[in-house]
C-alpha cells in the first residue's frame, strides 16, 4: 500500500519526488563549541574538520516536483549520532520557504523547521544570488558563483536530513542525482551577530538535482503556530506575470519558475490538462484557457486576470504551433494560415491587450518568443519560418514605439528545443530537422533569466548555438546557405 499524508486537503504520496531543482550550497568552518550548543538536546554532535564544525548554507529553486514550485533556504550543521557508524547527516536548523503548501507539508510530514519568507534567487553574473527576508525584514544574502560543469551522475549521493521537534529526533533519507559545478561563494551576513569563528570552506557547489524524500516512520506532528496565506510570505504579493503557452515546454518552465519566485502567475493556454499539471500544488499559479488567435478571447482573459490578480507586470508570450512539409509547393494552406494566426496574429492580440496599460503606467517587461528559424530559414519549414519572421518584424517595429516608455522588450530566438512542440515536428516529417541537436527548455529559460537580470540587453536574445548561427547568416550568408543545403534535405 502506498503511504500518503493529507496536506491542506490534498493527498501527498510517498516518496515525494523532485524532478527538477536548481540548488547552490556553500560550506563554512565554524566554532565547534557554538555548533555543539546549537545541537544540545538533539542527541547529535557536530561533525568536525580540523577542529571546526561544518556549516552548510544552501538555496534551492524547486521547479518541478510533487510539492509544487517554490524557493527554499537551508541553514544546517553537519552532524552525527555519537557512537553510531554511517550516521552522518545534515541537521537542519532553519528552513524558510516561500510557498504555503510545502511549508505545511514539511512541518507535518517530516518535522522540518520550515517557515514562510520572501526568498529571491536571481542570476548574478556567472552565478546566482539569494536574498532572504522574513516579515519584510532583511535576514541575509548569499551569492555562489558557477564553476566548471561535471559529467552527468558525478557526485551522486544520499545524505540524511536530521530534525528535532518536540523532543523527537527525526532522520529523513534524501537521495539525489546531482550534476555539481564546483565554484565559489560570497555571503552578505545578516544584521545580527554572526556565529563565532565563521570561515568559508573551499568547497561550495551548485547542483541541478533529482531528489526523493522519504518520511520518518513516526506519526507526523500536528502543525502548530500561525497559518500563512498561500499568497503571502510576509506581505502581499505585488508582482503578476501573464505567461502564454504555459501548458508545456518553455512556457511551463517560465510559469513554474516565476511561481517558485513568488510571483502571481496567470498561466494561459488552450490545453486545460497541461495547465492543471503546470499549476499543481502551486497556490499562486492561476490557469486560464484561451486561444491566442482569437482577439476577443485574449481581451476577455486579460481583463479577468487584471480583475483577479491586479496589474500585469510581466508578459511572457510563448504560445505557438508548428507544422512542416517537405515542400511548400503542396503544403496545406490551411495549416500555414493556422500558424500565422497563432504565432503572428496571436502575438499581436496579446501585445495589444496587455502592453498599452504597461506603456501608460511607464513600467513593465515584455518577452516575446520568436525562433532562430525566423532569421535562418530552411527547407521544409517555409510556413513556420514565415510566421516567426513576422513576429521578429513586428517586435522590431514595436521596440521603437516602446523606447523611452519604461517598458522593456526582449525577443527570445532559440534554436530547436526539446518540447512537445518538437515532437509534433518529428511526427510530421523529421527530415526537415536535419542533424540539428535540440537544447532543453531549461537552458533556454536560463538564458532568458540572465538577460532579464542584466541591466542592459539587446532586443534579441539568442540562446546557445543560435547566436553563432545568427551571426553566420548575417555576415556570411553564402556559407550559411551552403551548410543548410548540405545538411537539410527534406523527403516526403
Assign residue 121 the CATH number of its domain.
2.40.400.10
**Would you state the pLDDT for residue 186?**
53
Q: Which of 196, 213, 230 is the last residue of a domain?
A: 213
211 band by pLDDT with thresholds 50, 70 and 90: very low
Q: Do 196 and 48 sit in the same domain of this protein?
A: yes
Residues 148 and 297 in one domain: no
Asked, for residue 42, whether it belongs to a domain, the answer is: yes
> In the predicted model, is pLDDT for residue 429 greater than 90?
no
User: Which candidate in 344, 384, 460, 470 is catalytic?
Assistant: 384
Q: Is residue 219 part of a domain?
A: no
- The whole-chain average pLDDT of the chain stands at 85
- pLDDT tier at 443, thresholds 50, 70, 90: very high
Domain-located, residue 323? yes
Do residues 455 and 306 share a domain? yes
Contact between residue 301 and residue 319 where contact means Cβ atoms under 8 Å apart = no
Mean pLDDT calculated for residue range 113-137: 90
pLDDT at 481: 93
Domain that includes residue 11, residue range: 4-213
pLDDT of residue 178: 54
d(CA 127, CA 186): 10
Asked if residue 144 and residue 99 are part of one domain, the reply reads yes
| Structure confidence by residue, pLDDT tens digits, 464-478 | 999 999 999 999 999
- pLDDT bin (cut points 50, 70, 90) of residue 179 is low
Rounded Cα–Cα distance for residues 44 and 433 (Å): 57
Q: Is the peptide bond before 261 cis (omega within 30 degrees of 0)?
A: no
In a domain, 362, yes or no: yes
What percentage of the chain reaches a pLDDT higher than 90? 64
Closest listed residue to residue 177, CA positions, set 50, 21, 28, 34: 21
Instruction: Pick the more confident residue, 176 or 127.
Output: 127
pLDDT at 176: 62
- On whether residue 371 sits in a domain, the answer given is yes
Confidence check: pLDDT of 202 > 50: no
Q: Tell me what pLDDT residue 254 has.
A: 96
Residue length of the chain: 492
Is 288 annotated as catalytic? no
Residues 202 and 275 in one domain: no
State pLDDT tens for residues 213-263: 444 333 332 222 223 333 333 333 469 999 999 999 999 999 999 999 989
Mean pLDDT of the 87-112 span: 93
Statement to judge: residues 399 and 289 lie in one domain: yes
The residue-averaged pLDDT of 5-14 equals 90
Residues 457 and 399 in one domain: yes
Do 258 and 363 lie in one domain? The reply is yes
- Same domain, yes or no: 359 and 449: yes
Instruction: Find the CATH number of the domain harbouring 323.
Output: 3.40.50.720
Residues 209 and 249 in one domain: no
Averaged pLDDT, 381-410: 97
**Has residue 222 been placed in a domain?**
no
The x, y and z cell numbers of residue 138, run together, are: 532583511
- Total domains in the chain come to 2
Judge if 208 and 265 occupy the same domain: no
Statement to judge: residues 246 and 383 lie in one domain: yes
Q: Is residue 155 part of a domain?
A: yes
Q: Is residue 229 part of a domain?
A: no
Amino acid at each position: 500500500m502506498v503511504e500518503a499524508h493529507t496536506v491542506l486537503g490534498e493527498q501527498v504520496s510517498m516518496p515525494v519526488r523532485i524532478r527538477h531543482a536548481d540548488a547552490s550550497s556553500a560550506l563554512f568552518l565554524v566554532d565547534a563549541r557554538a555548533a555543539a550548543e546549537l545541537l544540545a538536546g538533539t542527541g547529535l554532535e557536530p561533525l568536525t574538520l580540523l577542529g571546526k564544525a561544518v556549516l552548510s548554507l544552501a538555496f534551492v529553486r524547486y521547479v518541478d516536483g510533487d510539492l509544487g514550485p517554490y524557493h527554499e533556504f537551508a541553514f544546517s550543521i553537519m552532524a552525527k549520532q555519537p557512537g553510531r557508524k554511517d550516521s552522518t547527516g545534515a541537521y537542519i536548523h532553519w528552513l524558510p520557504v516561500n510557498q504555503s503548501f510545502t511549508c505545511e507539508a514539511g512541518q507535518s510530514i517530516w518535522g522540518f523547521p520550515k517557515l514562510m519568507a520572501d526568498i529571491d534567487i536571481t542570476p548574478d553574473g556567472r552565478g546566482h544570488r539569494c536574498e532572504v527576508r522574513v516579515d519584510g525584514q532583511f535576514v541575509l544574502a548569499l551569492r555562489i558563483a558557477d564553476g566548471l560543469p561535471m559529467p552527468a551522475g558525478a557526485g551522486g549521493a544520499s545524505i540524511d536530513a536530521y530534525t528535532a521537534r518536540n523532543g523527537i529526533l527525526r532522520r529523513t533519507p534524501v537521495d539525489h542525482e546531482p550534476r555539481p559545478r564546483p565554484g565559489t561563494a560570497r555571503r552578505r551576513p545578516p544584521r545580527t551577530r554572526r556565529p563565532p569563528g565563521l570561515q568559508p570552506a573551499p568547497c561550495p557547489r551548485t547542483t541541478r538535482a533529482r531528489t526523493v524524500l522519504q518520511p520518518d516512520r513516526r506519526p507526523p506532528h500536528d502543525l502548530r503556530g500561525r497559518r500563512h496565506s498561500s499568497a503571502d510570505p510576509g506581505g502581499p504579493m505585488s508582482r503578476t506575470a501573464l505567461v502564454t503557452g504555459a501548458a508545456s515546454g518553455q512556457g511551463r518552465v517560465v510559469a513554474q519558475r516565476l511561481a517558485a519566485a513568488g510571483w502571481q502567475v496567470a498561466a494561459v493556454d488552450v490545453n486545460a490538462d497541461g495547465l492543471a499539471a503546470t499549476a499543481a500544488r502551486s497556490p499562486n499559479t492561476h490557469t486560464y484557457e484561451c486561444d491566442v488567435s482569437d482577439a476577443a478571447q485574449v481581451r476577455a482573459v486579460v481583463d479577468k486576470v487584471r480583475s483577479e490578480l491586479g496589474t500585469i507586470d510581466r508578459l511572457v508570450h510563448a504560445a505557438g504551433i508548428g507544422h512542416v512539409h517537405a515542400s511548400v509547393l503542396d503544403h496545406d494552406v490551411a495549416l500555414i494560415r493556422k500558424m500565422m494566426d497563432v504565432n503572428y496574429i496571436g502575438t499581436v492580440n496579446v501585445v495589444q491587450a496587455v502592453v498599452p496599460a504597461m506603456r501608460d503606467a511607464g513600467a513593465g517587461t515584455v518577452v516575446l518568443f520568436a525562433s532562430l528559424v525566423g532569421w535562418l530559414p530552411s527547407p521544409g519549414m517555409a510556413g513556420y519560418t514565415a510566421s516567426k519572421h513576422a513576429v521578429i518584424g513586428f517586435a522590431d517595429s514595436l521596440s521603437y514605439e516602446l523606447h523611452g516608455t519604461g517598458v522593456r522588450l526582449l525577443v527570445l530566438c532559440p534554436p530547436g528545443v526539446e518540447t512537445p512542440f518538437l515532437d509534433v515536428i518529428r511526427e510530421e516529417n523529421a527530415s526537415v530537422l536535419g542533424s540539428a541537436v535540440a537544447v532543453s527548455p531549461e537552458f533556454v529559460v536560463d538564458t532568458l533569466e540572465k538577460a532579464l537580470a542584466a541591466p542592459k540587453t539587446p532586443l534579441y536574445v539568442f540562446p546557445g548555438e543560435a547566436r553563432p548561427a545568427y551571426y553566420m547568416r548575417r555576415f556570411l550568408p553564402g556559407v550559411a546557405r551552403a551548410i543548410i543545403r548540405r545538411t537539410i534535405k527534406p523527403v516526403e
